[in-house]
Structure 1
């Protein structure tokens, strides 16, 4: 499986020795509430107005982090319905669940 944007950024920070940024990334789950994490997973960018985050943290990084946390051990997050499902396919490195795939296929 390919590395996510979050993993690449984390590894780059470790390699460059930016330990303050590494600590911030490690403590991200302590700083963001579960309700905000769910809104980030749903691609709700209004969360950025409520969060106090450094300038180097971009939306893509937060979105990848939230999706990674959502899919730990219980399937994958569908890019179309935002549901966590185990059955589906990967298309262009994105997961599409089986019901969404069938509905698209029948169009």
Structure 2
């Protein structure tokens, strides 16, 4: 996996100019300097993307995209582990019903006291 790198102010400006000061998610909303701008990897690092962000998004659009990216990265990890034969237990097993220790069942089905 690549080590995360950050953008310089010159690189940030170049990305905004390249995108024509519009959100890169596809909504087409304009990005103004007063907006909260998120610098985004179009292909997440976890899926083999570049180490530097290459797109600018509005905060809400970035939040939605990141939620989908997390799902895709988790699925890729599950598929990789399955391919490699790595077995992980997802959660604790369901506990059995607690039976009374003062009673026992005979082979014919009759319940008697111990």
Do the two structures share a fold, i.e. TM-score over 0.5? no
Question: Which is richer in helix?
Answer: 1
For CA contacts below 8 A with separation 6 or more, give which structure has more relative contact order: 2
Normalising by the residue count of structure 2, what TM-score does the alignment of the two structures yield? 0.24
Normalising by the residue count of structure 1, what TM-score does the alignment of the two structures yield? 0.25
